[in-house]
Amino acid sequence: MTALADRRHVDSTLAAEEERVGLRQAVELPGHRVHLLMDPALPAPGHQEVQALFRRHLSAGETADTLAGCTAEQAGTVRAAVELMLATAPDLCTGLLRHGRYIVAVDGPDAFDSASTREIPGAAFVAVRCMRTPERLAEALVHELVHLRLYDLQATRSVFAPAYDTATAPTVAPEWHRDSPVPRWPVDRALAAAHVYVHLRAWFEQRALDSGGPDLWQSAETAAFRATSLLDKVARHAEDCLGPAGRGFLRWLTEVHQSRTGPRPRERAAP
């Protein structure tokens, strides 16, 4: 078999496997592909594993949410959202998209807007209601892909101290979560949220510059306030909770945030 024929055989085999497990649509990027789960109900072992992990780590309950097949229309919205991401922040989003392998739709009365977890690497779960417009979906994807990047860093770098345990770690109290059922966050959750808010601030600022609108500037200001608050709170526990790479990461994240020239954080908590 020639090299070309061998490559075609491999490609056709992979295509057949993707069809069998419901990955009939994908966003093609240079050197990378992000799959869309089109039919989570297929009885393939991989689907059963994803379903089990979703129930164990992300689901709010059997009647609250469920994995949903991504329709052809939603696949079009995903592609439009990715195009918007690359047009708005090409350097940032090109890198972020390489941390994503799968986009999975979630539906149900209590489904979250979007979520990801270290236990399902490379997968961004997004509510069907957030797939109605490219703008809303792009925001959700930026959010989750930032999380996926940090999960990948945690797998290869000393982000947290060797003895760090989220169950017994020090906690911080975000001002905007005072009335939440979970008003205090462990340091790892606070660092992950700070990482997201730094990126969302940059995202909303650029979107506001591109298209205008007070809502986008307000979103940027809120993200800036929350990033500042969380970075400060995490820094108080950095010596005990973060590893060498984690302390360097926190310094870099703080410097990037402080160097921005968009809307400044407000002195009080954003609503």
CB 46 within 8 A of CB 19: no
Same domain, 1 and 129: yes
Q: Is residue 138 part of a domain?
A: no
Mean per-residue pLDDT, 165-187: 95
Same domain, 109 and 162: no
Position 48 scores a pLDDT of: 82
Same domain, 104 and 183: no
111 pLDDT more than 80: yes
Position 22 scores a pLDDT of: 54
Domain count for the chain, please give it.
2
- Which of 252, 259, 222 is CA-nearest to residue 235? 252
Element housing 104 (H / E): strand 102-107
Q: Is residue 139 part of a domain?
A: no
Q: Is residue 143 part of a domain?
A: no
Q: Is residue 149 part of a domain?
A: no
Position 253 scores a pLDDT of: 98
Same domain, 25 and 93: yes
Same domain, 253 and 161: yes
31 torsion bin: left (phi>0), alpha (psi -120 to 50), beta (else): left
Write down the mean pLDDT value for the chain: 88
Q: Is residue 114 part of a domain?
A: yes
Each residue's pLDDT tens digit, 187-203: 999 999 999 999 999 99
Task: Spell out the residues 6+ positions from residue 221 whose beta carbon is closer than 8 angstroms to its own.
Answer: 263, 264, 265, 266, 270
Q: Express as a percent the part of the chain with pLDDT over 90.
A: 74
Q: Is residue 220 part of a domain?
A: yes
Query: What span, in angstroms and rounded, lies between the C-alpha atoms of 155 and 119?
Result: 11
Lowest mean pLDDT among 74-78, 135-139, 267-271: 267-271
76 pLDDT more than 60: yes
CB 67 within 8 A of CB 40: yes
CB 182 within 8 A of CB 219: no
Same domain, 21 and 128: yes
Label residue 213 by pLDDT band (50, 70, 90). confident
The SS3 call for residue 170 is coil
Same domain, 198 and 254: yes
Same domain, 187 and 105: no
Position 51 scores a pLDDT of: 87
Supply the DSSP symbol for 64.
T
Name the more confident of 6 and 102. Answer: 102
Label residue 174 by pLDDT band (50, 70, 90). very high
Same domain, 120 and 184: no
Lowest mean pLDDT among 8-12, 105-109, 226-230: 8-12
Same domain, 94 and 167: no
Range of the domain at 77: 1-133
Lowest mean pLDDT among 15-19, 214-218, 246-250: 15-19
Label residue 18 by pLDDT band (50, 70, 90). low
Return the residue matching tokens 């008003």. Answer: 183
Q: Is residue 126 part of a domain?
A: yes
Label residue 261 by pLDDT band (50, 70, 90). low
**Token pair recorded at residue 247:** 């302390």
Q: Which residues pair with 114 in a beta bridge?
A: 126
- Which of 75, 93, 73 is CA-nearest to residue 84? 93
Q: Is residue 148 part of a domain?
A: no
152 pLDDT more than 60: yes
